[in-house]
Amino acid sequence: MDREIERKIGIIHIAYGFLLGLIFGLYVHGTLTFLSLLIVGFVISFPLYHLTRKLFNLSHEEFQLKDWIKKGYYPFLITWVVVWVFVYNLLP
């Protein structure tokens, strides 16, 4: 896979994480355990796995689940949690 495509995949996941971090920070006021946070993050970001494969015409061999976890899920998860906590703490 080309480095340019990997960068675009990362940017898409980071933007999605930022958007969901804002939404969760404004509207979700519950607590999640660490494991449930990982599971919820996986479930809400998994559709991007299929979207990026179709968007960039990547085969299953080129972009496997383990590649998505490294290049998509981790950047999404970190951005989502940081923005969520930041927005949540800024609310009065």
User: What pLDDT, on the 0 to 100 scale, is given for residue 55?
Assistant: 93
Is the pLDDT assigned to residue 1 strictly greater than 90? no
Pairwise CA distance, residues 92 & 76, whole Å: 26
Total domains in the fold of the chain:
1
User: What pLDDT, on the 0 to 100 scale, is given for residue 36?
Assistant: 86
User: What pLDDT, on the 0 to 100 scale, is given for residue 83?
Assistant: 94
What is the domain range of residue 72? 3-90
pLDDT in tens, 13-64: 999 999 999 998 888 877 778 888 889 889 999 999 999 999 999 998 888 9
Show contacts of 46-55: CB within 8 Å, 24+ apart: 48/12, 48/13, 48/16, 48/72, 48/76, 51/12, 52/9, 52/12, 52/13, 55/12
Which DSSP string do the residues of 13-46 spell out, in sequence order?
HHHHHHHHHHHHHHH------HHHHHHHHHHHHH
Residue 57: which region, alpha, beta or left (left: phi > 0; alpha: psi -120 to 50)?
left
pTM over 0.85: yes
